[in-house]
Amino acid sequence: MNSRRAPRGRAVLAALLLALTLCAQDRHPVTGRPYAGVMGVRGADWLVRPEREAEEQPDRALDLIGITRGSTLADIGAGAGYFTWRMAARTGPAGRVYATDIQPAMLDLLRRNMRDRKLDNVVPVLGAVDDPKLPAGALDLILLVDVYHEFNHPREMLRGMRDALKPDGRLVLLEYRAEDPDVPIRPEHKMTVAQVKAELQPEGFRLDKLLEDLPRQHILIFRKAL
């Protein structure tokens, strides 16, 4: 009787271990934070909603971050290009913006928006879930707006972005404040400063500056750790 039950017991144990592994893969191994998942192309209209100007103040955010004309930039999870076209205008024709997304349909929308604005210094890049597909050592600044929390391979993505930054380059995250219960965003789409630091520091980044001037979001500016 025991010999017949043993294989079934092993199968149940294997299934349980697999379920635990899959669950662990949906959470960050350091903080235990659940990954939020990527917004699909059907949500593209939400990315360019008129209310976003007041809710996120994108131009003020870029003023606070500071973009030098002629610099080489990246917009990770660029979507339809809401921040991309602002970055492209600021760096000017001598600069370049790599606009990455993992959804080809989003990049199609982005290309159309860049054409409409007559911006030819944007390079659309089809990234992967574990690789931003950026040129090594080329970037002055990498911007992630409300996107880092969606990564399901955050450590691999951070390593790829670190490799892409120049020695004095900056990695900038905008994330909705999880510390503030009045920010009307679902919890899995918000992060605390402590969470961001705990996840980025082991991947070779140090927090250089924290700005709390926006209505709903942290601006966290990181540089490579020595």
Residues 151-208: tens digit of each pLDDT: 999 999 999 999 999 999 999 999 999 999 999 999 999 999 999 999 999 999 999 9
Q: Which pLDDT score, from 0 to 100, does residue 21 have?
A: 35
The encoded tokens of residue 5 equal 């039950």
As a whole-number percent, the residues of the chain with pLDDT over 70 amount to 85
Could you give the residue ranges of the DSSP H alpha helices within 117-181?
154-164
More confident residue, 52 or 190: 190
Bigger pLDDT: 2 vs 183 = 183
DSSP at 41: G
What is residue 27's three-state secondary structure? strand
pLDDT band at 43 (very low <50, low <70, confident <90, very high): low
Entry pTM: 0.87
Angle at 103 between CA 98 and CA 109, to 5 degrees: 70
State the CATH class of domain 42-224.
alpha beta
Distance CA 200, CA 38 (A): 20
Using an 8 Å Cβ cutoff, are 133 and 126 in contact? yes
Please tell me the distance from the alpha carbon of residue 76 to that of residue 45, in angstroms, as a whole number: 18
Closest to 175 measured CA to CA, from 103, 108, 77: 77
- Cα distance between residue 199 and residue 212, in whole Å: 20
Compute the mean pLDDT over every residue in the chain, rounded to the nearest whole number: 89
Question: What's at 111, amino acid-wise?
Answer: R
State the helix-helix crossing angle for 84-91 and 104-116, rounded to 10 degrees: 50
What does the pLDDT read at residue 9? 54
Distance CA 12, CA 22 (A): 15
Question: What is the pLDDT averaged over residues 113-131?
Answer: 97
Q: Give CA separation, 60 vs 39, 110, 167, 182, in Å.
A: 24, 22, 26, 21
The stretch 119-130 carries a mean pLDDT of 98
pLDDT at 8 over 80: no
Q: Contact at 8 Å (CB) between 174 and 219?
A: yes
What's the confidence (pLDDT) of residue 52?
86
In this prediction, residues 59-74 reach a mean pLDDT of: 98
Taking each helix axis from N to C end, the angle separating 84-91 and 58-65, rounded to the nearest 10 degrees, works out to: 40
Greater confidence (226 vs 62) lies with: 62
